[in-house]
C-alpha cells in the first residue's frame, strides 16, 4: 500500500513541494507517490517476513516454507485420491495447486528482484525443488485416475457448474501434456525431459541477459565512456538504439548480438527437447502442444494471421524499410511531431499518474486504491531508505470491500531487472476450508528514476504508458473473482492475457482521461490537448515497420517450434528476417540469443499481435465514445475480467463485442491503427 505522509517529512521537503501545494491538491495516492522518500526507523517492530510470510524473514526461511508446502502436498494428494468424485475432487486439486504456487510464485519473483544475493539464491533453489515436484505430480497415475473417474462419469459431470468443469478439464490437460497416458518407461522419459527443460530454460534466460565484452583496444578510445568498463575489456549490455552516434549504435549491435557458442548449443538443445517432449505426449510439434486452449488453437491459424497481415502491410513496405532503426524512429517523432519526452514529463509526475489510475478505476469499476505502510520485513529491501520505493496498495471496491493488494516496486536500483513486469504472488480463490475469499497479491515492477531534491519522479510518455499497461495486468488479477486459484486473473490463455494491459494503453493516450490528471508539477497547468494529439499521431510513425517486426518475431518463434530443421537457428533467422521483415541480416550476429521470450512465450509470441487486435476492437466499439462510462466498465469487468482462465477466451471476446470476430477482423483491427490523421500534422505545422 502506498506510503502516506509523515509529519516529519515537511522538514525535508524542497521548494517544489510548497509551490505545488499552492496550485493543486493531490489525492492521498497522488501525494504518497509525489512525496520525497523518507526513512522509516522502528527498531522494535516485529519482522513479519516477505509479503507477510513469517518464515521469510531470512533466506533460510525459503527451505522451511518449501518443506511445509511439500508436507501439505502429500496430505492433499491423499485427499484428492480418496475423496468421492465430484466438486470436492476439483477443490482438492486446486488447494494442491494453490499451496505449491504460493511458494513457487513468490520465489520466482524474489529470485530476480531481491537485492540480497542470499535471498535470490535461496529462492532459486525453491523454484527448482517445487518445479521438480510439480513435474512428478503431473505424471502421478493415481492422482490422474481420481480426476479421470470424475470426468468419465456423465452423471457427475452434468452436476458440475461450468467453472468447476473447466478447471477439472484444465487439470486433466496438464496430465495429458506431461505424458500421463504413456507406459512407465516413456513416462519417466517425459519427466526427465521436463526436468532437463527446467535447467535449459534457466540457462538460456540467464545467458540472454548477460552482456558481451570486447577488448578496450578494439574500440576507439573516445567511445569508451558509452559502455561499462571491465578492466582491459568493455562491456556491452544493450543495443544503445537511442544513441545519436552512428558508430556507438553499430558497435553495440555487433558486439551485443555476437554469437555465444555455448548459448547457441543451449537453444538448439532446448528446441530439440521441446519437440521430443511434444511428440512423446502425442502432438505434431511443440507449437501444437503450446497453442491448445488459446484463441489461435493451432499454428496453422496463427500463420494465416501473420501472412494476411504481411500482405496488407506490403503497400507500406517502402516506409518500413527506410525508417528501420529505433534511433531514426525516435528522431522522426521529435522533429515531425515535437514530442521530445522532456516536454511532457513535467505534466506526468508519478503521483499524477497514480491519481489518474485511481480516478479511472473509480469511474469504470467503482474501485479505489488506498495507501498503507508495509510492516517491517514485508518488502524486499534491507536498506531502510529504499522502503518507500516498495509500496503496497490496497484495492477496495465501493460495495464488495477489499479486493486485494498490489506491491509497487517502481524505482530503479542496482541489479534490478530493467524490464517492466507484473508478478502474481498469490492467486485469488474461494477457500472452502475458511469460508473466506483468498485475496490476490501481485507485484508491479518498473524501473523509474528516483525523485530529486527539486522535483518528484517525472515520467516520459513511454513510462506512463508502461505504468498503465502493467496496471492493466494488476486489475485483471484484482477484479477476477474466480472460485479457483488455478484460473485466477492472468492465469488464462496467453493470447488473451495481454488484452487488459494493452487496452489500458488506449486509456493512457486519450485526452479525456489524461485531462483528469496530467498537470504540471510546479504550475498545476493541464497538459495541452494539442500535445496529446501529437503524441497519438507520433505512435503511427513507422507503425508498419513495428508490426512487421512483430510478425517476424512471431513467425520465427513458430518455425523454431515446428518440426526440426536441418539448419541452424541463425540460418532460420536470416531467411525469416528477409522474408517477413525485409531488412538484410547482419553477418556474425545472433539476435535469437537475446530473444528471452522464447522461454515464457515459446510458440506463443504471436499473442502480442492477437491481444492488440482484440484490445483495438474493444476500444473502438466499447470505449472510444466515452472512455469513462461506468456501464461499459462494468460490462467489461463481467465479460472479460471476472473469469480469469475459467472461460474460453474467444467466448469472452464474443460476449464483449456481441459478435464473433473473424481472422480478417483481427488483421483489419491492427492495420487500421496505422492510418494517420493528417489534420493533426497540418494544424501543428501551421501553428
Q: Whose CA is closest to 270, among 207, 223, 331, 226?
A: 207
Residue 145 falls inside a structural domain: yes
Q: Whose CA is closest to 308, among 663, 677, 686?
A: 663
Residue 264 falls inside a structural domain: no
Domain boundary among 155, 181, 207: 181
Residue 81 falls inside a structural domain: yes
Answer with the residue of higher pLDDT: 647 or 540: 647
Q: Could you list the active site residues?
A: 470
Residue 423 falls inside a structural domain: no
- Asked if 107 contacts 130 with a C-beta cutoff of 8 angstroms, the reply is yes
**Residue 12 main-chain phi, psi, to 5 deg:** -100, -15
Give the per-residue SS3 of 563-578.
Answer: CCCCCCHHHHHHHHHH
What's the count of helices (H) and strands (E) in the chain, helices before strands?
Answer: 30, 10
How much is the average pLDDT of 485-506? 94
Domain boundary among 156, 181, 206: 181
Residue 659: C-alpha distances to residues 244, 251, 380, 429, 662 (Å): 48, 51, 46, 30, 9
Min mean pLDDT across 240-249, 285-294, 479-488 is at 240-249
- Asked if 475 contacts 495 with a C-beta cutoff of 8 angstroms, the reply is no
With a cut of 60, say whether residue 327 has pLDDT above it.
Answer: no
Q: Whose CA is closest to 515, among 497, 503, 531?
A: 531
Min mean pLDDT across 83-97, 271-285, 545-559 is at 545-559
User: What's the pLDDT at 178?
Assistant: 85
Q: Tell me whether residue 660 is exposed, middle or buried, using C-beta atoms within 10 angstroms of its C-beta: 0 to 12, 13 to 18, 19 or more.
A: exposed
How much is the average pLDDT of 429-443? 91
Determine the straight-line distance between the first and last CA of the chain, rounded to whole angstroms.
Answer: 45
657 sits in which H/E element: helix 649-657
Distance (Å, rounded) from C-alpha 548 to C-alpha 558?
Answer: 15
Domain with 576 in it: what CATH number? 1.10.1370.10
- Pairing status of strand 390-397 against strand 401-411: antiparallel
Distance (Å, rounded) from C-alpha 247 to C-alpha 453?
Answer: 36
Classified as helix, coil or strand, 475 is helix
Min mean pLDDT across 57-66, 463-472, 575-584, 654-663 is at 575-584
Q: 338-386, pLDDT tens digit by residue?
A: 567 789 999 999 999 999 999 999 999 999 988 778 888 898 864 322 2
User: What's the pLDDT at 387?
Assistant: 24
Distance (Å, rounded) from C-alpha 93 to C-alpha 226?
Answer: 53
Classified as helix, coil or strand, 445 is strand
Of the pLDDT bands very low, low, confident and very high (cuts 50, 70, 90), residue 679 is low
- The highest-confidence range among 166-175, 189-198, 532-541, 580-589, by mean pLDDT, is 166-175
Question: 624-652 burial string, b = 16+ CB within 10 Å, else e?
Answer: eeebbeeebbeebbebbbbbbbbbbbbeb
- Asked if 166 contacts 151 with a C-beta cutoff of 8 angstroms, the reply is no
Angle CA 201–202–207, to nearest 5: 100
Give the single-character DSSP code of 492: S
- Pairing status of strand 212-215 against strand 233-236: antiparallel
Please give the residue range of the domain that contains residue 647.
290-315+542-672
- Asked if 92 contacts 392 with a C-beta cutoff of 8 angstroms, the reply is no
Catalogue the E-assigned strands of 356-440. Answer: 367-372, 390-397, 401-411, 421-426, 429-431, 436-438
One DSSP character per residue, 284-334 reads: SSHHHHHHTTSSS-SHHHHHHHHHHHHHHHGGGHHHHHHS-SHHHHHHHHH
One DSSP character per residue, 144-161 reads: HHHHHHHHT-HHHHHHS-
Distance (Å, rounded) from C-alpha 216 to C-alpha 374?
Answer: 46
Residue 95 falls inside a structural domain: yes
Q: 200-236, pLDDT tens digit by residue?
A: 998 998 899 889 999 999 999 999 999 988 889 999 9
Residue 160 falls inside a structural domain: yes
Domain boundary among 128, 146, 181: 181
- Asked if 296 contacts 290 with a C-beta cutoff of 8 angstroms, the reply is no
Residue 535 falls inside a structural domain: no
Question: 589-606 burial string, b = 16+ CB within 10 Å, else e?
Answer: bbbbbbbeebeebbbbbb
Q: Whose CA is closest to 546, among 511, 583, 507, 588?
A: 583
- Asked if 212 contacts 260 with a C-beta cutoff of 8 angstroms, the reply is yes
User: What's the pLDDT at 16?
Assistant: 38
Number of structural domains the chain divides into: 2
Alpha helices in 5-86 (DSSP H): 15-23, 28-34, 61-82
Residue 459 falls inside a structural domain: no
Distance (Å, rounded) from C-alpha 107 to C-alpha 133?
Answer: 15
Distance (Å, rounded) from C-alpha 542 to C-alpha 579?
Answer: 19
Domain with 177 in it: what CATH number? 1.20.1050.40
Of the pLDDT bands very low, low, confident and very high (cuts 50, 70, 90), residue 15 is very low
- Pairing status of strand 228-230 against strand 367-372: unpaired
Give 421's strand partners.
445
Percent of the chain with pLDDT over 90: 59
The number of residues making up the chain comes to 687
Of the pLDDT bands very low, low, confident and very high (cuts 50, 70, 90), residue 37 is low
Give 215's strand partners.
233
Q: 89-108, pLDDT tens digit by residue?
A: 999 999 999 999 999 999 99
Of the pLDDT bands very low, low, confident and very high (cuts 50, 70, 90), residue 687 is very low
User: What's the pLDDT at 525?
Assistant: 95
Q: 146-179, pLDDT tens digit by residue?
A: 999 999 999 999 999 999 999 999 999 999 888 8
User: What's the pLDDT at 124?
Assistant: 92
Answer with the residue of higher pLDDT: 318 or 669: 669
User: What's the pLDDT at 42?
Assistant: 60
Amino acid at each position: 500500500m502506498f506510503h502516506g505522509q509523515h509529519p516529519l517529512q515537511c522538514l525535508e521537503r524542497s521548494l517544489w513541494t510548497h509551490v505545488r501545494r499552492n496550485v493543486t491538491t493531490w489525492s492521498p495516492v497522488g501525494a504518497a507517490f509525489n512525496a520525497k522518500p523518507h526513512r522509516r526507523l522502528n527498531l522494535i517492530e516485529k519482522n513479519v517476513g516477505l509479503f507477510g510470510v513469517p518464515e521469510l524473514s531470512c533466506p533460510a526461511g525459503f527451505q522451511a516454507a518449501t518443506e511445509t508446502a511439500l508436507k501439505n502436498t502429500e496430505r492433499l494428494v491423499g485427499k484428492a485420491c480418496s475423496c468421492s468424485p465430484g466438486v470436492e475432487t476439483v477443490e482438492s486439486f486446486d488447494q494442491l495447486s494453490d499451496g505449491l504456487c504460493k511458494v513457487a510464485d513468490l520465489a520466482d519473483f524474489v529470485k530476480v528482484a531481491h537485492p540480497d544475493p542470499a535471498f535470490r539464491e535461496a529462492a532459486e533453489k525453491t523454484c527448482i525443488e517445487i518445479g521438480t515436484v510439480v513435474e512428478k505430480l503431473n505424471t502421478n497415475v493415481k492422482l490422474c485416475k481420481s480426476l479421470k473417474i470424475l470426468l468419465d462419469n456423465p452423471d457427475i459431470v452434468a452436476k458440475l457448474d461450468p467453472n468447476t468443469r473447466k478447471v477439472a478439464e484444465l487439470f486433466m490437460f496438464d496430465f495429458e501434456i506431461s505424458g500421463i497416458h504413456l507406459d512407465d518407461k516413456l513416462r519417466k522419459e517425459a519427466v526427465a525431459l521436463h526436468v532437463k527443460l527446467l535447467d535449459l530454460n534457466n540457462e538460456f534466460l540467464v545467458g540472454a541477459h548477460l552482456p558481451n565484452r570486447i577488448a578496450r583496444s578494439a574500440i576507439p578510445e573516445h567511445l569508451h565512456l558509452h559502455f561499462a568498463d571491465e578492466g582491459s575489456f568493455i562491456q556491452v549490455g544493450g543495443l544503445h538504439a537511442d544513441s545519436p552516434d552512428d558508430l556507438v549504435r553499430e558497435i553495440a549491435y555487433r558486439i551485443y548480438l555476437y554469437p555465444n557458442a555455448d548459448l547457441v548449443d543451449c537453444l538448439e538443445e532446448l528446441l530439440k527437447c521441446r519437440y521430443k517432449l511434444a511428440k512423446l505426449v502425442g502432438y505434431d510439434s511443440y507449437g501444437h502442444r503450446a497453442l491448445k486452449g488459446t484463441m489461435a488453437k493451432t499454428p496453422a491459424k496463427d500463420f494465416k494471421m501473420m501472412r494476411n497481415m504481411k500482405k496488407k502491410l506490403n503497400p507500406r513496405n517502402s516506409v518500413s524499410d527506410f525508417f528501420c532503426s529505433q534511433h531514426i524512429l525516435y528522431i522522426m517523432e521529435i522533429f515531425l511531431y515535437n514530442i521530445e519526452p522532456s516536454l511532457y514529463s513535467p505534466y506526468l509526475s508519478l503521483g499524477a499518474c497514480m491519481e489518474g489510475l485511481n480516478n479511472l478505476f473509480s469511474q469504470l469499476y467503482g474501485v479505489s486504491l488506498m495507501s498503507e505502510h508495509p510492516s517491517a520485513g514485508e518488502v524486499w529491501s534491507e536498506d531502510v531508505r529504499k522502503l518507500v520505493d516498495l509500496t503496497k496498495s490496497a484495492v477496495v471496491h465501493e460495495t464488495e470491500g477489499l479486493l486485494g493488494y498490489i506491491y509497487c516496486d517502481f524505482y530503479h536500483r542496482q541489479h534490478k531487472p530493467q524490464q517492466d513486469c507484473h508478478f502474481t504472488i498469490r492467486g485469488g480463490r474461494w477457500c472452502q476450508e475458511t469460508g473466506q475469499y483468498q485475496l490476490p497479491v501481485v507485484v508491479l515492477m518498473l524501473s523509474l528514476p528516483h525523485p530529486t531534491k527539486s522535483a518528484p519522479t517525472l515520467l516520459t510518455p513511454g513510462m506512463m504508458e508502461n505504468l498503465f499497461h502493467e496496471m492493466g495486468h494488476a486489475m485483471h488479477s484484482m477484479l477476477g473473482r474466480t472460485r479457483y486459484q488455478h484460473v485466477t486473473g492472468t492465469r488464462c490463455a496467453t493470447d488473451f492475457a495481454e488484452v487488459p494491459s494493452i487496452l489500458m494503453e488506449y486509456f493512457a493516450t486519450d485526452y479525456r482521461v489524461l485531462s483528469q490528471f496530467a498537470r504540471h508539477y510546479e504550475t498545476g497547468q493541464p497538459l495541452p490537448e494539442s500535445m496529446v494529439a501529437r503524441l497519438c499521431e507520433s505512435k503511427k510513425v513507422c507503425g508498419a515497420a513495428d508490426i512487421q517486426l512483430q510478425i517476424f518475431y512471431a513467425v520465427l518463434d513458430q518455425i523454431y517450434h515446428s518440426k526440426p530443421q536441418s539448419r541452424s537457428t541463425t540460418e532460420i533467422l536470416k531467411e525469416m528476417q528477409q522474408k517477413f521483415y525485409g531488412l538484410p541480416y547482419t553477418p556474425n550476429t545472433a539476435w535469437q540469443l537475446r530473444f528471452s521470450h522464447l522461454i515464457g512465450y515459446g510458440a506463443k509470441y504471436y499473442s502480442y499481435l492477437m491481444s492488440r487486435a482484440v484490445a483495438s476492437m474493444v476500444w473502438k466499439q466499447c470505449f472510444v465514445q466515452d472512455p469513462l462510462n461506468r456501464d461499459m466498465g462494468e460490462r467489461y469487468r463481467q465479460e472479460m475480467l471476472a473469469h480469469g482462465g475459467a472461460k474460453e477466451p474467444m467466448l469472452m471476446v464474443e460476449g464483449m463485442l456481441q459478435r464473433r470476430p473473424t481472422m480478417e477482423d483481427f488483421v483489419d483491427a491492427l492495420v487500421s491503427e496505422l492510418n494517420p490523421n493528417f489534420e493533426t500534422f497540418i494544424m501543428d505545422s501551421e501553428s
